[in-house]
Amino acid sequence: MQRIGILTSGGDSPGMNAAIRAVVRKAIYHGLEVIGIKRGFNGFIDGDMEPMRLGSVADIIHRGGTVLHTARSEQFKTPAGRAKAWENVERFGLEGLVVIGGDGSFTGASIFHREYGLPVVAIPGTIDNDISGTDYSIGFDTAVNTAVDAINKIRDTATSHERTFIVEVMGRDTGFIAVAAGLAGGAESILIPEHPFSIEEVCHKLCKGYRRGKLHSIIVVAEGAGSGLEIGKQIKERTGFDTKVTILGHLQRGGTPTAFDRILASQLGARAVELLMQGATCKMVGMAAGKIVETDLDLVLGQKKTVDLDVYRLASILAI
């Protein structure tokens, strides 16, 4: 193996740059060449690719976003798009590909591998943490800390009236960020897609808390569980409590990555290069049970990962 490509795809997540740095430097350390592919599969199709050197990844480990840029590619979902990408594989002499992204990107990579046989190693990079085969995906820890920081600040605003704060966090299909941020932030309620809830129940809990003397309540809502503004409106209607809503939105995707995300990204990136050198064909690297491991990419894609409900219940017990 002499030359590999690397791209970031889908929604970006903090720590992707640390993963790129690890792939590039580990590869060069072992005598490989690395071609950086810009704008995800779009750059792969367009040939927007160029060699990366040691210096290309200097001073990026602490930056949010991705120096390779990212995109969602409709064209790569078509056979014609992938055929063009294959031309670039041949043109640039790539013998392996590292793909950093989430589910959608991995599906594309897997199909491409099946069709053209290019060895592929995937690195999970998404703040949603909804990829099976790994306990953590790159960016999740940073996104959770961003949400927790917001909850901290909201907690500061002292009040003498019943007041309810709602913080809407990302998570269309899963409540990973909501549960972790809610537990770490000491939220009174956490609303997630995986667990049914009724507004009555939420209001009942709020009222109980205020009767016990709580000055304020914080409710964390995963966007997939409902709109923060809508839930706030319903709570106000039912309880009369003053309800204030914060929607974090895309700021959860940014920020300088935490140490955890950078270390994870560094380890996964280095392992991805090792796997390609050892002849892996279609794998994902991840961290499971505290160790860096690999899984067949197709196995990853066939499984759904959901929130640990024990942790969810713990958050509820500790917020009594």
Three-state DSSP state, 180 = helix
As given in the structure block, the two tokens for residue 219 are: 């409710």
Nearer to its own copies, 3 or 214 (CB): 214
Three-state DSSP state, 36 = strand
As a whole number of angstroms, the distance between CA 48 and CA 43 comes to: 5
Q: Is 245 in the site for its own copies (CB under 8 A)?
A: yes
| Adjacent-strand bridge partners of 217 | 164
Q: Are strands 33-37 and 49-52 parallel, antiparallel or unpaired?
A: antiparallel
Taking residue 186's Cβ as centre, other Cβ atoms within 10 Å add up to 14
Nearer to its own copies, 152 or 303 (CB): 152
Scan residues 94-153 and list those touching its own copies (CB under 8 A): 135, 141, 144-148, 150-153
Contact 135/121 with Cβ under 8 angstroms? no
Could you identify the residue written with the tokens 């889908």? 10
Q: Is 278 in the site for its own copies (CB under 8 A)?
A: no
Nearer to its own copies, 119 or 228 (CB): 228
Question: Is residue 41 packed enough to be buried (19+ CB in 10 Å), middle (13-18) or exposed (0-12)?
Answer: buried
Per CB under 8 A, the segment of 99-107, 118-126, 189-197, 210-218 that binds its own copies is 210-218
Minimum CB separation from its own copies for residue 94, in Å? 21
Q: Which of 82, 113, 205, 262 binds its own copies (CB under 8 A)?
A: 262
Q: Is 317 in the site for its own copies (CB under 8 A)?
A: yes
Q: Is 70 in the site for its own copies (CB under 8 A)?
A: yes
Minimum CB separation from its own copies for residue 293, in Å? 11
User: Please, what is the Cα angle at 117 between 112 and 121, to 5 degrees?
Assistant: 70
Judged by CB under 8 A, the number of residues near its own copies is 88
Phi, psi of 12 (to 5 degrees): -80, 165
Please say if 12 is a catalytic residue: no
Minimum CB separation from its own copies for residue 162, in Å? 12
Q: Is 155 in the site for its own copies (CB under 8 A)?
A: yes
As given in the structure block, the two tokens for residue 146 are: 């961003």
Q: Which of 2, 50, 51, 62 binds its own copies (CB under 8 A)?
A: 62
271 labeled part of a ligand binding site: no
Q: Which of 180, 220, 268, 280 binds its own copies (CB under 8 A)?
A: 180
List the catalytic residue out of 48, 59, 128, 308: 128
Annotated binding site for Mg(2+): 103
